Chain A
Amino acid sequence: KQEVTQIPAALSVPEGENLVLNCSFTDSAIYNLQWFRQDPGKGLTSLLLIQSSQREQTSGRLNASLDKSSGRSTLYIAASQPGDSATYLCAVFYTGTASKLTFGTGTRLQVTL
């Protein structure tokens, strides 16, 4: 079964700290992986899309890495700010599943002052 797992489920860090969010997937036959942010009660905001042929993708303070062989992706957030507080979701396009994204359960991040 193609699954996506995110650990930890929740994380609290002080402002200014660098942090890493983890995403694991069970099948290496992925096409690409997308990281999203969701604020409470809101929709999903796309953060980064990383192709299966890429190792890294960067946007501002965010850096996503992908290791297909180990079934892992990480989202690195530099110099965290209170405004980064949200739930972060990773989602995988598995090859052969057409347009369907398989989502992880998310990591709820709180950045404290």
Chain B
Amino acid sequence: KAGVTQTPRYLIKTRGQQVTLSCSPISGHRSVSWYQQTPGQGLQFLFEYFSETQRNKGNFPGRFSGRQFSNSRSEMNVSTLELGDSALYLCASSLDSGVGYEQYFGPGTRLTVT
């Protein structure tokens, strides 16, 4: 079974621009979560989508948004990029939503904001 895939793998953007990242979950998985990883803050939860609805949200500004499609694929959007948004963005999929389902992570998208 194919794992979680993320595209693109690398991105370089300029401050003020916006960016969209994509995540395809493992086949049959219906929940997709997004995390931001930085050297200073470690891994932090952004949000989770299930059945095309945001189920849970972390403590990030409204510039960070996402959506999920009927095939469970998810996109994450960051508007008005700031230098501090430079990070590895990881998505994880699980069979279902809610506490305790084993999370499977993709390879990540490395975003650099200049």
Contact = CB atoms under 8 A, between A and B. Distances in A.
Interface residues of A, number: 28
A70 B97 CA distance: 28
Contacts of A44: 90, 92, 105
A98 B48 contact: yes
B90 A98 contact: no
Given A31-B99, A43-B90, A100 B106 contact: no
Contacts of B88: 41
Q: Which label, helix, strand, loop or mixed, suits the secondary structure of the A interface?
A: strand
Given A98-B97, A99-B48, A36 B56 contact: no
Contacts of B58: 100
Contact of B97 (A45, A89, A99, A104): A99
A66 to B, nearest CB: 13
Interface of A: 31-32, 34, 36, 41-46, 49, 51, 89, 91, 93-106
